[in-house]
Chains A and B, each alone.
Chain A
Amino acid sequence: MSVAAIRVDLQLIADMVDPATRALDVGCGDGSLLAYLVNFKRVDARGMELSQAGVNACVASGLSVIQGDADADLRDYPDDAFDYVILSQTLQATREPREVLRQMLRVGKRAIISFPNFAHWQVRLRLVFGGRMPETPSLPFKWYDTPNIHLCSIDDFRGLCRDMGVRIERAIVLDRNSKPISLPPLLANLLGEQAVFMLQRD
């Protein structure tokens, strides 16, 4: 399987995972993060993916993946089953993001979450001056066919973590090229196109 280059945001997530741990990647897509974790970090990595075609492709490349979705299927797992539960670019497509987050932190000792920032300046400009629902590289959908039903900003997400009493262990803000940028929170919420958070139960 090809694991030489994975998407920059996935690489950032992979770097947060300690070697030889247990991880569950929810919404694992084509399994590229899983394969990286298995092959380069000796992680006991499992995946869950909505599309059966995606599942079959992952299994065919030797990965442990089941069909399922974050809203319905996390509740099956026992407490502390994993060291990390990962949800990349999927939180905004869940029906109940708060419950998903709660389940992730029940099943995993840590949760790693990446999501597009809805307060990015491009999004704001398109809505305020364009008067249309924003379409950006990280939000490439028309309003009527987007899977994203619970979009949030970086500050919104921080707010939810505060409300839930969840500790933010790391927060990385990425620019439009998925490069980490170091900015004070107010600017991060304006200039960050996406964010990666590592959370821990408090």
Chain B
Amino acid sequence: MEAAIDKPLDGPLFDGLADAERKALARCRHAVLGVERPLRLDCGVELGPYRVAYQTYGTLNADKSNAVLICHALTLDQFVAEEHPVTGKEGWWESLVGPGKVLDPARYFIICINVLGGCMGTTGPLAQDPAGQPWNLRFPVVTVADMVRAQAVLLDHLGIPDLFCVIGGSMGGMQVLEWAASYPARVFTAVPIACAARHSAQNIAFHEVGRQAIMADPEWKGGDYRQHDTVPARGLSVARMTAHITYLSEQALQRKFGRALQDRDALGFGFDADFQVESYLRHQGSTFVDRFDANSYLYITRAMDYFDLAAAHGGVLANAFKGTPTRFCLFSFTSDWLFPTRESREIVHALNAAAANVSFVEVESDKGHDAFLLDEPEMFRTLAGFLKGAAAVRGLKDVP
């Protein structure tokens, strides 16, 4: 798909870019924000100026009513529907976004923004502080609400008053909920997929294992690995391996690998990757290291851990949605044990308590949490119907 690119990458905010960031920024749009008004973060720090890297597909219509914001998950980025500049793989949501797909750029102006704290061009721990020193672990801890604030500033900058749809899965779904709670008048429809209104103890626990793995890697150097010319590859790789297990279902793992052996006929009586599942996880871990920054992983997992929408609204989730004009459509997957259906149901209960307009679809799938990224016809069919109904109410033309 045709990509829009903003050039050039000059000014102090572009000093010391990592290779991956440079490749990403060369292939997407970006804006420098917070020059006059810094972003006030939940932790109290004022951040500014900061870079925001984003990608767009399609064209904003004359009455600016067709904008769709896609919020990406933990380790994904703005390259939704095109070849990834670092990995060379296809866009992570090409099943949903593209010509003839549910989110067709011929109809919608689709935006995806690399989150604050990320490592694909938006300011995060990889960036430099105002004194020109690498932030590393001195970068302020950001929250999902901070990510959404930065996105709202970008939309102001782009002159987009409101969004026809805000959609995302996993951490993307958390951002969708935050958008609906913080900017209800700017969100016509909200589609949180496979997510929760707060991160569970179990999910925090898994994230903590990942972070400890990174920080236990001697190459991590207290977060200053770039200055030491090292990469905490083993730590980040283990973090990814652990997380990857949580994205799949037991059934999917069993079906895919069972106890099949890797490149051998018999057990090796050692600790090489005897089993295919081991080899697969090691591969997942090592390829992740090539595209993702370890400190960024620490910051973004922390943001998810801190997410608790009810706590931010007096302990009552329904208060987050009081009087909301937004039309909601939630999705969950039967085999997702990271964000199980009951978590979505809790959000539905809260939305009902706020008398909000809400639909909720649980999709039968044995693919676990990752199902939201895969070809799930039931999800596409119901989502298309939901969007069509909403488009009719909004007076959007050309939605089939």
Given the interface pairs A60-B384, A60-B385, A61-B385, the reply to whether A76 lies near B360 with Cβ below 8 Å is: no
A64 touches B361 (CB 8 A): no
Q: How far is the CB of B331 from chain A (nearest CB, A)?
A: 10
A77 to B355, CA, bound (A): 6
Bound form: Cα–Cα A67–B382 in Å: 14
Q: Does B348 contact A (CB under 8 A)?
A: yes
Chain A interface: which of B39-47, B209-217, B265-273, B386-394?
A: B386-394
Name the residue in B349, B353, B361, B363 with the highest tally of chain A Cβ atoms < 10 Å from its Cβ.
Answer: B361
| CB contact between B362 and one of A52, A61, A76 (< 8 Å): that residue | A52
Query: Residues of A contacting B362 with CB < 8 Å?
Result: 52, 55, 67
**Binary per-residue interface labels of chain A (35-46) against chain B in the complex, 1 for a CB within 8 Å, 0 otherwise:** 000000000101
The interface residues of chain A lying within 8 Å CB-to-CB of B255 are none
Contacts of B363 in A (CB 8 A): 56
Q: A65 CA to B188 CA in the complex, in Å?
A: 17
Cβ-defined partner of A62 (8 Å) among B349, B355, B388? B388
Most buried by A among B327, B355, B384: B355
A62 touches B327 (CB 8 A): no
User: Is the Cβ of B359 less than 8 Å from the Cβ of A66?
Assistant: yes
Task: Let me know if B358 is at the binding interface, CB within 8 A.
Answer: yes
Report whether over half of chain A's contact residues are helix, strand or loop; otherwise say mixed: mixed
Contact yes or no, B360 A55, CB < 8 A: yes
Q: Within the assembled complex, what's the spacing in Å between the Cα atoms of A73 and B381?
A: 26
Complexed CA–CA distance, A64 and B326 (Å): 12
Contact of B381 among A55, A60, A63 (CB under 8 A): A60
Q: In chain A between 7 and 40, which residues have their CB closer than 8 angstroms to a CB of chain B?
A: none
B378 located at the interface, meaning its Cβ lies under 8 Å from any Cβ of chain A in the complex: yes
Return the contact of A66 from the options B358, B382, B384, B392 (Cβ within 8 A): B358
Q: Known: A66-B352, A73-B352. Contact between A59 and B329, CB under 8 A? A: yes
Report the nearest A residue to B379, measured CB to CB. A56
Question: How far apart are A171's CB and chain B's nearest CB, in angstroms?
Answer: 29
- A181 to B152 CA separation, bound complex (whole angstroms): 60
Closest to B327 in A: A64
Given A59-B361, A60-B382, A67-B362, answer yes or no on A76-B352 (Cβ-Cβ < 8 Å). yes
Q: Which of A62-80 contact B (CB under 8 A)?
A: 62-67, 73, 76-78
**B59 close to A (CB within 8 Å):** no
Indicate whether A62 sits within 8 Å of B392 (C-beta atoms), given known contacts A56-B378, A73-B352, A78-B355: yes
* Nearest B residue (CB) for A73: B352
Inter-chain CA distance A82–B389, complex, in Å, is 20
Choice from B353, B357, B378 contacting A46 with Cβ under 8 Å: B357
**Is residue A81 within 8 Å, beta carbon to beta carbon, of the partner chain?**
yes
Residues of A within 8 A of B392 (CB): 62
Of the residues B327, B352, B386, contact of A77 by C-beta under 8 Å: B352
Closest residue of chain A to B322 (Cβ to Cβ) is: A78
**Min distance, Cβ A75 to any Cβ of chain B, angstroms:** 9
Question: Chain B residues near A64 (CB, 8 Å)?
Answer: 327, 357-359, 389
Chain A contacts for B364, CB-based, 8 A: 52
Given A64-B358, A64-B359, A81-B355: A59 and B382 interface contact (C-beta under 8 Å): yes
Is B349's CB under 8 angstroms from A76's CB? yes
Assembled-state Cα–Cα distance A78/B350 (Å): 10
Contacts A59-B382, A62-B386 hold; do A77 and B353 have CB atoms under 8 A apart? yes
The answer to whether B385 and A59 have CB atoms under 8 Å apart is: yes
Q: Which of B314-359 contact A (CB under 8 A)?
A: 327, 329, 348-349, 352-355, 357-359
Which residues of A have CB within 8 Å of B327? Answer: 64
Q: How far is the CA of A93 from the CA of B210 in the complex (A)?
A: 49
Among B353, B381, B389, contact of A76 (Cβ-Cβ < 8 Å): B353
Chain A residues within 8 Å of B384, by CB: 60
B389 close to A62 (CB less than 8 A): yes
**Cβ contacts B357-377/A at 8 Å (1 or 0 each):** 111111110000000000000
Residue of B nearest to A76 (CB): B352
**In the docked arrangement, what's the CA distance between A67 and B358, Å?**
11
Q: What separation, in Å, do the CA atoms of A63 and B361 have in the docked complex?
A: 12
Distance in angstroms from B194 CB to nearest chain A CB is: 16
Query: Among B360, B362, B364, B386, which residue has the most Cβ atoms of chain A within 10 A?
Result: B360
Q: Which of A44, A59, A61, A76 has the most CB atoms of chain B within a 10 A radius of its CB?
A: A59
A62-B385, A62-B386, A66-B348 as given contacts; A56 in contact with B361, CB under 8 Å: yes
CB-defined contacts of A62 to chain B, threshold 8 Å = 385-386, 388-390, 392
Residue of B353, B358, B362, B382 ringed by the most chain A CB atoms within 10 A = B382
Q: How far is the CA of A62 from the CA of B361 in the complex (A)?
A: 12
Q: How far is the CB of A117 from chain B (nearest CB, A)?
A: 32
Contact residues in A for B357 (Cβ distance below 8 Å): 44, 46, 64
Residues of A within 8 A of B329 (CB): 59
Residues of chain B within 8 A of A65, CB atoms compared: 359-360
With CB as the reference atom, state the residue of chain A lying closest to B348: A66
Give, as a whole number of angstroms, the nearest-CB distance from B140 to chain A. 38
Which 8 residue pairs of A and B lie closest in terms of their CB atoms, listed nearest first? A62-B389, A60-B385, A81-B355, A76-B352, A66-B360, A59-B382, A59-B359, A60-B382
Q: Supply 8 A–B pairs (Cβ within 8 Å), ascending by A.
A: A52-B362, A52-B364, A56-B361, A56-B381, A62-B389, A64-B358, A73-B352, A77-B353
Give me 11 other A-B pairs in contact (C-beta within 8 A), A59-B386, A62-B388 excluded.
A44-B357, A55-B360, A55-B361, A59-B359, A61-B389, A62-B386, A63-B389, A65-B359, A76-B352, A77-B353, A78-B354
Interface residues of B (CB under 8 A from A): 327, 329, 348-349, 352-355, 357-364, 378, 381-382, 384-386, 388-390, 392
